[in-house]
Amino acid sequence: MVRWQPGTRERLQAVALQLFTSEGYDATTVARIAAEAEVTERTFFRHFADKPEVLFAGQEGFLGMFSDAVRAAPDGTAPFALVRLALEGSVGFFPEERRAWSRARQVVIDATPALGERELGKLATLTTRLGELLRERGVAEPTATMAAETAVTVFHLSFAQWIAPDEARPFRTLVHERLDALTAMVQSAG
Amino acid sequence: MVRWQPGTRERLQAVALQLFTSEGYDATTVARIAAEAEVTERTFFRHFADKPEVLFAGQEGFLGMFSDAVRAAPDGTAPFALVRLALEGSVGFFPEERRAWSRARQVVIDATPALGERELGKLATLTTRLGELLRERGVAEPTATMAAETAVTVFHLSFAQWIAPDEARPFRTLVHERLDALTAMVQSAG
């Protein structure tokens, strides 16, 4: 069902998600996840700090993709171009083979308030980091914060659409669609 | 200190906020608030459904101000113009005499995670309602949702600035500053 392979870390994530889905997040212990993945609990904790992290791990890498693209841009790149670069940088984190896993993961998160809060916290961190990065590059306020908030809004709306039931278009297309909608909206204001 | 008068409802809010500030939110009971305001607990509950509502009441009126401005706009008004109207509509909710109360209220909310969540929930409701309203007016997706998210972002960043320690400019000025920053950002992208 929810495959996304290989390696111990990925196997633990796939097994955990399957258990969360079939038996509930709260009812699933780390011992059970480890047993199903045929590793020791100690191995689990070598990969993940705690049970929720099995759903959130890798997000540092995601933050990196988001911000590396901004860091690599030449001096004087306009703020909205930096927003586009950050979003383009995030696209690689959402290949087609990840979509089924992301969909199942979201069902678990939506059913578990504490996980929903952790998810919101991660988005808030993303906004804060991006705002800092833009200010470091000389973008003034309130533009830096508006740009960071806008980037994260486009990101999370694109992600929500990417995992919507009948959506088949790639993540990149959905990001562009939302950026274009924002641009058209602001420019049509007259 | 934190005055904002008159009427029983407003007195209860002022007294509650003062107690939350001096003795802590969790340590302050409804009985204590009622006693300090010289009313019965029953009177408290005629005005507020529960203790947290003393900090959130009136938000229905706020939602109304936000959306009435959109409803009153002529057919065919561009989506970004509707965003501006919604934000202009909200300005009346934040007169100068409310600023000290809002600042003290935010300190209590930031110190109490459950209140922070309720605050986030109210912002999410605002986004959802505004998105619905825009779709009812014929704004297509993903523009309607982008517009609603953008409006609420401008709103909450303007509010955060309005209650910042040394800020003296009116709410309206801060809203315009953020809308202008967004417009300039998007248009400068080339």
What ipTM is given for this predicted complex?
Answer: 0.84
Q: What is the pLDDT of residue A1?
A: 44
Collapsed DSSP state (helix, strand, coil) of residue A58: coil
| pLDDT tens, residue by residue, A26-72 | 999 999 999 999 999 999 999 999 999 999 987 778 888 888 999 99
Q: What is the pLDDT of residue A64?
A: 87
- Tell whether the model's pLDDT for residue B158 goes beyond 80: yes
Domains annotated on chain A, with CATH: 1-56 (1.10.10.60), 58-187 (1.10.357.10)
- Tell whether the model's pLDDT for residue A189 goes beyond 90: no
Task: Answer whether A142 sits within 8 Å of B178, measured CB to CB.
Answer: yes
pLDDT-wise least confident of A54-68, A165-179, B132-146: A54-68
- Stretch A132-151: mean pLDDT: 95
Task: Answer whether A143 sits within 8 Å of B81, measured CB to CB.
Answer: no
- Tell whether the model's pLDDT for residue B57 goes beyond 90: no
Q: Find the helix packing angle between A143-162 and B171-187, rounded to 10°.
A: 70
DSSP conformation letters of A48-105? -SSTTHHHHTTHHHHHHHHHHHHHTSPTT--HHHHHHHHHHHHHTT--GGGHHHHHHH
The chain B residues in contact with chain A (CB within 8 A) are 78-81, 83-84, 117, 120, 142-143, 145-147, 149-150, 153-154, 157, 161, 177-178, 181-190
Cβ atoms A13, A54 nearer than 8 A: yes
With tokens 């909450």, the residue in question is B156
What is the model's pTM?
Answer: 0.88
Q: What is the pLDDT of residue B189?
A: 67
E strands, A12-110, where?
none
Chain A residues in contact with B148 (beta carbon < 8 A): none
| pLDDT tens, residue by residue, B71-115 | 999 988 999 999 999 999 999 889 999 999 999 999 999 999 889
